[in-house]
Structure 1
Amino acid sequence: MKVLYYIHDPMCSWCYAFAPAWQALCESLPPAIEIRRLLGGLAADDDLPMDAALRQHLMDTWRRIEARVPGTRFNFDFWRNNTPRRSTWIACRAVIAARRQDVQHDLTMTAAIAHAYYREARNPSDEQTLIDLASEIGIDNVRFTVDLRSAGTQAALASEMGRAKSMGAHGFPSLILDLDGTRWPVAVDYRDPRTMLETIDTLVAG
């Protein structure tokens, strides 16, 4: 069995920047390689406002990403219009809650969260933002809200986070290629999917 694991967080700025290269890689992979997505859980639930030092660090990270990854743009109004919190697990649970209605909503909710956060300056750490996004992508937001708040959804997230950690994924995004039980890290390239494809082809060829 050949599986490529993509470990991510919907509020990870580097994952947002990686999205175009990741999509191109997915479109180029051999059909024999299955893609599985895992939520890594970047930051635990926290209701406290982000301190000034962390705010500045993240703004600097956004600027560094814009300089490094062509075409990536962030809306810095986020920092003026919101009360940021270092809390991404709720957004991860939103992906799981959406996925429970249709597996394809894993992708659509992840993309909706990233767009709302990075382009529209909305705060996905706020539950209401996520409920609004559920409506916007066309899923049942009453069921979504129940699932978002459920202990089962948190347990599912904890399971995915544990699995990602057991694979050695400690940063996001991470790519892990599993070839019949043997796992290989694949270096992420934000600019050129061909380098990742070449690595995967070499590993598969053995």
Structure 2
Amino acid sequence: MSDQTGAEFNFDFWRNCEPRRSTYPACRAVITARYFNKEHAMLEAIQKGYYLLAKNPSNADNLLSFAQQVGIDTNEFLQLFGSDLLNQEFQQELQFVQQLPVHGFPSLVLYYQNQYYAIAINYTNADDVITRIRDVLTQS
């Protein structure tokens, strides 16, 4: 458990896995799951796998297991995951993110009246984040 946020975290990840800094495979898996209407379920499976089960989300075998857990046929998942179509969509999303007012991840961005606003994240005080969002809404 995190001392600061209270979030559960299985620290075995750092003992049992070879950490990789790329989140690209997990991002590609979420985009792939979107085609099966399982985007949120995949995101949740990846988060649970990483934080609670010490499963590396950069590992293709883990992503395939997560896909199966959320009800996606593994053959269909693999075919789309490695496709040119998926690669093009992933590249488009990367280009979109580069246009946003963010400098690191995770980030919170508010889209309001055709503009994007970076919202500072306070992991221990949701009211602080809500206040920042309200400030943007009232100043615009």
* TM-score between the two structures when normalised by the length of structure 1: 0.61
**Identical aligned residues as a percent:** 35
Q: Which gives a bigger RCO, structure 1 or 2 (Cα 8 Å, sep 6+)?
A: 1
Structure 1 equivalent of residue 14 of structure 2? 79
Distance apart, 1:85 and its partner CA: 2.6
Matches within 5 A, 1:10-21: none
**Structure 2 Cα separation of the partners of residues 106 and 80 of structure 1:** 29
| Paired AA for residue 19 in structure 2 | P
1:145-172 deviation per Cα after TM superposition (whole angstroms, max 9, x unaligned): 1111112212212211221121121211
DSSP 3-state at the match of 1:68: coil
Superposition misfits of 4+ residues, deviation over 6 angstroms: none
Matched, 1:200 2:139: no
Structure 2 equivalent of residue 67 of structure 1? 3
**Structure 1 Cα separation of the partners of residues 97 and 27 of structure 2:** 14
**Structure 2 Cα separation of the partners of residues 116 and 101 of structure 1:** 20
* Cα pair 2:101 2:117 within 8 Å, conserved: no
Q: Cα–Cα, structure 1 residues 80 and 176, in superposed 2: closer, same or farther, change >3 Å? A: closer
CA RMSD of aligned residues (A): 1.8
DSSP 3-state at the match of 2:3: helix
Distance apart, 1:178 and its partner CA: 2.5
- In the alignment, structure 1 segments of 5+ residues that lack a partner are 1-62
Distance apart, 1:90 and its partner CA: 0.8
Aligned pairs, number: 139
| Paired AA for residue 118 in structure 2 | P
Distance apart, 1:128 and its partner CA: 1.2
* TM-score between the two structures when normalised by the length of structure 2: 0.87
Matches within 5 A, 1:39-58: none
Q: Cα–Cα, structure 1 residues 177 and 79, in superposed 2: closer, same or farther, change >3 Å? A: closer
Larger strand proportion, structure 1 or 2? 1
